[in-house]
Structures are given as structure tokens and as C-alpha cells.
Structure 1
Amino acid sequence: MAKQHQQQVHLNVYVPREQFTHDIQESFDHERKADELERLGKHNLAVREYQKSLELEERCLGKHHPVVEEFRHKLEIPQDGPASWKRTAHRHSAELLTESFQHEREGDILHKLGFDEKAKHEYDRALNIETHVVGKHHPMVIALKEKMILERIK
């Protein structure tokens, strides 16, 4: 029951696809910057960058989305001393979403050129990735499916 409630909470978040794409990429950029700052020993600056990354993901996916919760769990800030950040497993999810958006853009281009079968292949690849990362009921996945219907790509 709690899991179902948790799923409903993160499904209420809706960010337009273009904004979602931008924010997830920006989140990923902040995380990479934070990793580099951490490597250079600049812990306080790294903490700020990780927090910016987390805030963007919460805005896109919701505070209770499993990807966000996993990220939050991986970010361990001890009370004393400098922050020690674990490598985040969610990085893979961000990379997958970036790949998904590339497939969708490729599908858009192919569709405009009249190659609907190839466009469908790219959209399907994007849908498979997004469904795996955010779930089949996420507004982002539904929006891509609706886009395919409106453009008559079957």
C-alpha cells in the first residue's frame, strides 16, 4: 500500500518534455561538476553542486520518485568534517534519459523527412528507455506516446 501511495505521489509531477530534458541535463552537469570538485578536494563547493542536482531532479521527477530517493540516499553528508559523497547509482539513469532524448530528437527529424518507420524505431527506443527509468505511467512517457499518436506514428 505504501509503495502504491509513493508511486502516486511522484506521478503528480508534470514538467513539459522540453523543460524536463533541460533540467535533467542541467542536473547531470551539476553532478559532473560536483564530482570534479570533490576530486579536487573542494568539498563545500561539491556539496552545493550535488544539492543543485538533487533539486532539479526533485522538480522533474518528484521528491518521492525512486530515482530521486536513491540519489538522496547515496548522498551522505556526515555531521562532522567534510562531506564524503558516494558515487551515485542514479548517474546511469540520467545518462539513459539523455540517450532517450537523443532518440526522440532523431525520431522528430526522421518524421519531418517522411521516414515514419525509422522515426517509430527511434521513438520506441526512447519510450523503452523512459519506461525503464521513470515508469510507464509517468507523464513524460504518456506525453511521448500521445505525441506519436498525434503524429500518426504507429
Structure 2
Amino acid sequence: MLLRCQLLSEVEARGVRLTAQRRALIETIQEATTHLDAASLLELAHKRDPNINRATVYRTIELLKQLGLIDELDLMHLNGEKHYYEVKTEKEHLHLACFKCGEIVEFATPAFERLKHEIAAKNQFEIQAIRLEVGGLCGLCAAKKQKQLQ
């Protein structure tokens, strides 16, 4: 499990005003066990505060992106052109996306960190964001496919 930053305390530490609706959205993102798109975020946040509207969702997402506290992902466009959001983690990681069942697995490895440092060093480039997504079949879907081929 990747360690994620604590959104509420980070936002408060930066002096951002926390309305009840913004707090509900941030808590929803923080507690999410999956990558959320804006519509899913709105639906879950409505359970905390039914007065939250779509514009507030998008403004809060934009704020958290500007503060560098969440990442925006496309996750191999498994579900069309949706964008997904996740809380920043302490270590960079990549996403494995199953084309068959849609499962998303987060994977962190020292090799990814070494690659990041090599890219920066060899290109005299200060990396501020790096994302890597790998598409294919998860173990379960690959096994099912193999079984069908037999």
C-alpha cells in the first residue's frame, strides 16, 4: 500500500479556506479506495452533503491539482475519455490497467525510481511529474484467456 498525503491537513497548512462542501469533497477523495472520476466523486460526496454541485467538484479538483496534492490520470482510457484523480503518494508509482476487466493496480518499484533519476541526469532535466501506465491483462483475465485457447 502506498502512503498518501493527508489532504485536509495539507490544504489547511497552505491557508486555503475550507468550506463545508470543500471539506466533504476532500474527505471523499482522501477516503476513496479506487480512482475516482468527477462524476463518481460528486456521487460519493453527495452522501456527505447533498448540496454539493458539479461546479464545486471541478473547482476543488482544480485547486488540489494546482496545490500539487492530487494527480489526474487517464488510466489507458479504459472507460472512454474520463479523467481520474488520486491523492499524491510519497513514492512515484505506475498503474497497470487490465483491458478486459478494468482492474487498476498501483505498482511501485525501486527500478522506476532509478529510471526517473537516469532520465533526469542524462537529459539535464528537472522532472516535476512522471506518469506511466501499462495496459494488458491482469493475472485472472490472462488465465481465463489461456484456458479458452486450450
Please give the range of the TM-score, normalised by the shorter of the 2 chains. Answer: under 0.3
Identify the structure with the greater strand proportion: 2
Identify the structure with the greater helix proportion: 1
